[in-house]
Structure 1
Amino acid sequence: MLSPRMCEDSQRLSRAAGSLDWKVVRWADWRVPEGLPETDLVLYAAPLFAERVSQLLPIDFPEPDDRWLTKLDASLLNRKVEATTLAEARQIRERSFFKPASFKTFRAGVYESGAELPEEDKADGDNPVLVSEVVVWESEFRFFMLDGKALTGSVYFRFGESAEGNGEWPCGEEEFAQARETAERAYADCSEGLPAGVVIDTGYIQGSGWSVIEANPAWGSGLYGSEAVSVLKVLEKTAVSR
C-alpha cells in the first residue's frame, strides 16, 4: 500500500513490488480503496497517513520506543542523550540538539536553548523529546534491519550535506561495513522496544568514532541508496494485525 503522495522512493518500491509479483495499491485519497486485500498488507507512507490507515483497518504500524536511544551502552552513543518532555526541554539553557521523539511536533535541529522550541499553544508540553549534546557527524548512514540484521543500507549525509552525487550514494566498503556493524551491535545491545523490521541510522562522530544516531519506523523512512527489494522484505515485518 502506498499513500496518494507521489515520491521517488514510493515509485522505486512500486517497481520493486511489481518485480516480485506483489499487488501494488496506491490510495487515491484517505479512504480505503475498493478491492483492497484483507491480509498480507504492507505499507510505505508518512506517519500521519499510517495513523489514518490504522484508524480504518485493523492494523498497527509500531514505532521504535521513544527512549530506545537512551538505553544503549554509552560506547554506542559517544555523546550525552537525554529523554524528556517538550515542557522540560523548554527549560534547557544549553545549546543542544532537540528532536521530537515520535510525532514531528517541531523541526529537529540544533537550538541555542530550549526557549527557541515551540510554545505551549503550538505544541503539547507532554510530547516526548530527545535532547543530545551537539556533535559533528562526518558521515551518516541508514540501515533497514530485519531481526537484527542489516539487509540493505546507504550513506546519506556527509558533514550535514547530502552524500548523493549524480544519482549515486558513494562510500568505501570498509566504511560501509563499520557503519553496518554499529547498527547490528545496537540492535543486539537493546532490541527491546524495536519492531522486527526497523531502520537504524549510524554515523561517525568527529573525534569520537562510530555511533548510533537514532531508530525510525521502516515504513516511513527514506531509502536513499538502499536496495528496494530488500527494503520490501523489511516492510513485510512492520505491520501488526489487531
Structure 2
Amino acid sequence: MELLAVEAAGRGMSVRAAEEPGLTGPVHWYGGPVAGARLAGRLGFALLEPTDGWLAELPREFTGRQVRAGTVADARSIDRPTFVKPPRDKSFPAGVYSDGSRLPSSLDPATPVLLSEVVTFAAEYRLFLLEGRIATASRYAVFGRLDPRPLGSDRADRITAARITEFIDRLVAAAGDTLPSAVVVDVGQLLDPRRPGRRWAVVEANMAWFSHAYACDPARVLDVVLRAAGPRDYMRPRDAVFERC
C-alpha cells in the first residue's frame, strides 16, 4: 500500500485515508472489501471483481484439478482432504481441511465456498492483468511458502515469463470475457504425479484493489488498480457485470 501511495502521489494524486473527514468523490480505492462496499455509494466508485464461481467454471485444461462452487453446508459434508476457500472475502482461513468438521463452527451454512482437489504447486505467481494482458507479475510462493521475486530478472525467469504469457494468452482467448478488464490472476506450476514434469494452472482470480503486489512493479500495479476501483462514471460498459454489489 505504501508503494502504491508513493506512486500515486508522484502522479499528482491526493492520497487520503478512507475515514478522513471531508472526503468526497470522485475517488479510486485500494483497501478492504467491507470498507470499500460501505464507501462506494457515497464516494461514487465502482469495485470490479471476478464472479464467485469463475474458477469452478473454467475447463480443467486451465485449473489442472477438480474445482466446484458450493456453500459451507456443502463443505461440512466432505469426508476427505479438500482445499476449501472463500471465493472473495477472507471470511475464514483458506486451506486443506481433512473433513468438513474442521471448518469454523461460526460460519453461516449459506456462505459461498470453493472446494478443490488437493494439489501441489511448485511455484506460484501473481499477475496483474489489464485488458487481458499482463501489466506486471511477481513470483510470490515456492511450495506454499512465501518467497516473492520479480519475474524476468534472469534467463530462467525470462523463460518462465514467456511460458506464463503463453498460458495467459490461451486463458484470455478461452475465457477472457468472464473476467473484468482489470483483475489479478494467480497461476502456478502444478506438480502432477500422473504426468511427468510441471504444467501451468490457474490458482485463483482476485480483485486488484485488495491484492498484495509482492515484487510487482508498483507503477503498473497502480494502473490496474485505478481501472479496477475508480469512478463509476468512467466504468466501461463490459465491466458493469463485474461490479461488486
The verdict on a shared fold, with TM-score over 0.5 as the criterion, is yes
1:1-242 mapped onto 2 (5 Å cutoff): 10-27=1-18, 29=19, 33-34=21-22, 36=24, 38-39=25-26, 41-119=27-105, 122-164=106-148, 172-207=157-192, 209-239=199-229, 241=232
- Name the amino acid aligned to 1:226: C
- Name the amino acid aligned to 2:22: E
Report if aligned partners of 1:142, 1:154 keep a CA contact under 8 Å in 2.
yes
The structural deviation recorded for 1:188 is 2.8
CA distance in 2, matches of 1:115, 1:189: 37
Helix, strand or coil for the counterpart of 1:107? coil
CA distance in 2, matches of 1:26, 1:178: 39
TM-superposition CA deviations, 1:45-66 (whole Å, max 9, x none): 0222212222533333122101
CA distance in 2, matches of 1:99, 1:147: 27
TM-superposition CA deviations, 1:194-217 (whole Å, max 9, x none): 221100000001135100011000
Higher RCO (CA-CA < 8 Å; seq separation 6+): 2
- Identical positions, percent: 33
**Number of positions where the alignment pairs a residue of Structure 1 with one of Structure 2:** 224
Q: Note the aligned Cα RMSD (angstroms).
A: 2.0
Report if aligned partners of 2:46, 2:232 keep a CA contact under 8 Å in 1.
yes
Helix, strand or coil for the counterpart of 2:227? coil
- Name the amino acid aligned to 1:194: L
TM superposition score normalised by structure 2: 0.84
- Structure 2, unmatched stretches of 5+, are 193-197, 234-245
The structural deviation recorded for 1:235 is 1.2
Report if aligned partners of 1:143, 1:180 keep a CA contact under 8 Å in 2.
no
Runs of 4+ in structure 1 displaced over 6 angstroms? 168-171
- Name the amino acid aligned to 1:51: A
- Name the amino acid aligned to 1:104: K
The structure richer in helix per residue is 2
Report if aligned partners of 1:202, 1:214 keep a CA contact under 8 Å in 2.
yes
CA distance in 2, matches of 1:184, 1:228: 23
Change (3 A) 1:192 1:65: farther
CA distance in 1, matches of 2:185, 2:82: 22
